[in-house]
Amino acid sequence: MSVPARPLEPALYLVATPIGNLGDITLRALETLAGADVLACEDTRVTRVLLDRYGIQNRPYAYHEYNADEAGPRLLQALEAGKSVALVSDAGTPLVSDPGYRLAQSAIEAGYRVVPIPGASAPLAALVGSGLPNDAFLFAGFLPTKDKARRDRLAAFEAVQATLMFFESPHRIAATLAAAADVLGNDRVASVCRELTKTYEEFRRGTLAELAAHYADVDSVKGEIVLVIGPPPERAVEAADVDAILADLSKTMPTSKAAAEASRLTGLSKKELYQRLLDMKGGDGR
């Protein structure tokens, strides 16, 4: 197919591109890639494949972490000259674990318009395909490569009441799963989402212990991976612990606020905790 180059208003356009299947591109994204005065990308060879697929003649220019200090100011100069600049990553949504954040931040600080062109996103594709809770989630990019730093980072997320998502490389996935099982608990449910939207797409689900055992026995893992880990299981709170929490909070907070904070900490009803604290104070709230 061929996409017409429509004129664009001067702005920095952050254009999401497919994470594997080239069919996962929006019409608006194609029109933006075709019509932009300047098209910046991570790897011109990767972007050229996408452009050729849709008959787009625009010439891409490289902007990546190794030339950002040089290429970034040139792109800002194009915006200053009243041109439209489109930015794409090799796959997915720009600014997610790539240097595009620096360019967008600089453009905003300089007063230029920044326009997101939404589309494919590996973390969101992994989340909806994992089968894990999606009412609250936290994407944390890549974990550290060193074991201690990796474990410390995981420990910081241990109590977060949300599904966690990490990018991981195939040669580190076994070590990461082993560390996650140790830090977050063997029984915590997770999903290893590999090669999303591609021919060999795979969702392997199980507990962290089960997944760690599986990948410990796999000689070679291939493809890009998103590791999705479910939220921590709800823990029963003992009555004595609840009373201790309420008593401690009520030392520095009004009754209503103490009940609200205790509700956040324990997951129990604010109304019930409020009445419980009144009873502890003799019914008058003082």
- Average pLDDT, integer, range 171-190: 96
* Best CA proximity match to 230, nearest among 90, 152, 147, 126: 126
Residue with the two structure tokens 């990948």: 215
pLDDT of residue 286 exceeding 80: no
- 271: which residues sit within 8 A by CB, 6+ positions away? 259
Residue-wise pLDDT tens digits, 132-163: 999 999 999 999 999 999 999 999 998 899 99
> What is the percent of the chain where pLDDT is above 90?
79
Using the predicted structure, report yes or no on whether residue 226 has a pLDDT greater than 60. Answer: yes
Q: What is the mean pLDDT of residues 114-125?
A: 96
Q: Are 87 and 40 in contact (CB under 8 A)?
A: yes
Specify the pTM.
0.80
Residue range 58-65: average pLDDT?
A: 94
In this predicted model, what pLDDT tens digit does every residue of 20-39 receive, in sequence order?
A: 999 999 999 999 999 999 99
